[in-house]
Amino acid sequence: MKSDFYTYDDNPIFHLAIPVDNIVNAREFYISVLGCDVGRESSKWVDLNFFGHQLVIHLVNDRLRGESEFNEVDGHKVPASHFGIILSWDNFSSLETHLLSNNIKFTLEPYLRFEGQPGEQRTMFIKDPSDNHIEFKSFRNIDMVFATDLNKKIVEN
Ligand SMILES: [Fe+2]
């Protein structure tokens, strides 16, 4: 359902704030590994341009421990707490190459999920120095991002 404050065509920018236990290490990770630009910042928080969306890292003493919980998705253990971005197929491959060449450790290695189904997608997980899990994915068919029947096999017309 859409309303006058909820449209796709104005490309709303997602905002997310996450806890980190070392602001210097986290800031460096998002800049050097993921190429984020820095916006406003203080000693306790930093605004980051995360693929055009606003991600804020907030310094805390004890970070949340949701990252220790995993659920199974398509036969793989996926951290229940994570965030990320959906990229084009080509940009996913470019980022995959970039992460591999920089020896970034994957929580979940790049793989093809829901293969042969309408929701077929590539996905990979890394985590920042404060153990916030980050997922990158790319859909074979971008129109399937919000599809509801992912188990239905593709039928050729
Ligand atoms: Fe996810």
Residues 3-15, mean pLDDT to the nearest whole number: 74
Domains of the chain: 1-60 (3.10.180.10), 78-157 (3.10.180.10)
Distance CA 71, CA 7 (A): 32
Ligand 1 midpoint to CA 23 (Å): 25
Q: Is the pTM of this model over 0.85?
A: no
How far is CA 143 from its chain centroid? 18
Ligand 1 midpoint to CA 67 (Å): 13
Task: Classify residue 61 by its DSSP letter.
Answer: S
* Least confident interval from 59-68, 70-79, 148-157: 148-157
- Specify the higher pLDDT residue, 6 or 39: 39
Taking alpha carbons only, the member of 11, 40, 29, 19 closest to residue 126 is: 29
Taking alpha carbons only, the member of 98, 12, 99 closest to residue 53 is: 12
Task: Classify residue 25 by its DSSP letter.
Answer: H
Q: How confident is the model at residue 78 (pLDDT cuts 50, 70, 90)?
A: confident
Ligand 1 midpoint to CA 81 (Å): 9
| Summary mean pLDDT of the chain | 86
Looking at the chain, the number of H-run helices and the number of E-run strands are 2, 10
Ligand 1 midpoint to CA 135 (Å): 6
> pLDDT value at position 157?
47
Ligand 1 midpoint to CA 83 (Å): 7
Q: How confident is the model at residue 33 (pLDDT cuts 50, 70, 90)?
A: very high
Ligand 1 midpoint to CA 85 (Å): 9
Give the gyration radius of the chain's Cα atoms. 17
Residues 52-75, mean pLDDT to the nearest whole number: 78
> pLDDT value at position 73?
83
Contact 38, 47 (CB under 8 A): yes
Residues 53-71, mean pLDDT to the nearest whole number: 77
